[in-house]
Amino acid sequence: MIDFGMTLRIALRALRVHKLRSLLTMLGIIIGVGAVVAMLSVGQGATMQVQQRIASLGSNVLQVFPGSATTGGARGGAGSATRSLSLDDANAIAPACPDVVAVAPIVSRGAQIVYGNQNWFTSVTGTTPSYLDVRSWDVAEGNMFTDDDVNAGSKVCVLGQTVVDNLFALEDPIGAIVRIRNVPYTVLGVLTVKGSDQDDIILIPVTTAERRLTGNAWINRIMVQAVSQKRGDAAQEEVTQLLRVRHEIRTDTEDDFTVRNMADIASAVQQSSRILTLLLASIASVSLLVGGIGIMNIMLVSVTERTREIGIRMAVGAKGRDVLLQFLVEAVVTSLLGGVVGILFGIGVSQLIGLLAKWNTPMVPGAILLAFIFSAVVGIFFGYYPARRAASLDPIEALRYE
């Protein structure tokens, strides 16, 4: 039996003889492996990005949405019952539920904001001061409006940084008057920067929003902060029971509201981005398959071209498995070299994408290992048939081949 080091040397020599051909064959694998590594890495980055965003919303936060409304027997989807949550519901939660720390009712509408000759369309959110606690947010300058402002329905607001950037050039926004739907509001403060454009927001007292913006007493949703992430489920239960009582829902009837746990949302989003990553990677692995077919093609050509060499080797005593191994090693070396270069290429591409998209695209050691193993498997799989063919040549025919 021939020793492995020798087989490897023979394979490397054969690859060196046709440098350009070997390189082009490898290119298929390089692109395939590179694409898989890059896609997995970018996908991982996207997942992390989404996770971070959700975490910044607060992982111990529950959201209460109006439920589905039944009108004349036809049931609408979630949120169709826009008139099921009231400000009183929101106010009742904190005292009645022991696992709840803070509650923020939310009324939001898109509206055009005008300051001087500048204007900007953004989301106007009517809420209470506890909104900042729930979202673990703070004001960078000035102050948040107070509960008194909420009780009085004052025309005051707090701006997100994006709104400030778009309306104010150099002036200090604090104390300025902005107009929302022609109603003047005094700017009390500016929120700290939260990023990924959660800063495109204006906060006003919830009572003011009801009066000036929506013209009714219903609210869009309630954000509820649980004591801790662990107590999230308990808080959810308490809020559900309370609202069922308040809405006088009988035991055999469905809720007219929905309570969503952020942790559930997080895992749902994570699930979907994982599926997306998998999808991208499987598309990329198609090109790896194409690369493998390229290897098979070239190996078949190579076997034909080197029929005489195979004949000589067999004449001096090479057994079928020696020839098989020689060509198999050649195919595997091609695909592994391609795999290594492809991994570096993939890392480069993912870093570039990370740089351009301002994401963190982390190296995934598992993906790199997987790509490496996968390229070896491709080499064995697509190299086997040509190698088998070489090994089964008749030495007499092979020696006569010109």
CB of 387 to other proteins, least distance (A): 16
Note whether 1 binds other proteins by CB under 8 A: yes
For residue 318, the minimal CB distance to other proteins (Å) is: 5
230 or 319: whose CB is closer to other proteins?
319
Q: Is 170 in the site for other proteins (CB under 8 A)?
A: no
Q: Are strands 156-159 and 201-205 parallel, antiparallel or unpaired?
A: antiparallel
Cβ closest to other proteins, residue 341 vs residue 398: 398
User: Which stretches does DSSP call E strand in 67-155?
Assistant: 70-71, 74-75, 100-115, 118-127, 139-142
Contact flag: residue 100 with other proteins (CB under 8 A): no
How many chain residues are in contact with other proteins, going by CB under 8 A?
23
Cα→Cα distances 338→31, 117, 258, 346, 386, Å: 9, 60, 53, 12, 19
Among residues 315, 355, 369, 373, which is the contact residue for other proteins, using CB under 8 A?
315
Nearest CA among 10, 27, 25, 24 for reference residue 306: 10
Residue with tokens 């996908």: 43
3-state SS string over 243-293?
Answer: HHHHCCCCCCCCCCEEEEEHHHHHHHHHHHHHHHHHHHHHHHHHHHHHHHH
The residue to which tokens 């035991």 are assigned: 251
Q: Is 308 in the site for other proteins (CB under 8 A)?
A: yes
Binding to other proteins in span 102-121, by CB under 8 A: none
Site for other proteins, residues 317 to 356, rule: CB under 8 A: 317-322
At 358, phi and psi to the nearest 5?
55, 40
Q: Determine if 193 is a binding residue for other proteins (CB under 8 A).
A: no
Minimal distance, residue 347 CB to other proteins, in Å: 35
Among residues 27, 48, 94, 312, the one that binds other proteins under rule CB under 8 A: 312
Structure tokens that stand for 387 in this block: 């190698």
Per rule CB under 8 A, is residue 396 in the interface with other proteins? yes
Which stretches of the chain bind other proteins, using CB under 8 A? 1-3, 6, 13, 17, 308-309, 311-322, 395-396, 399
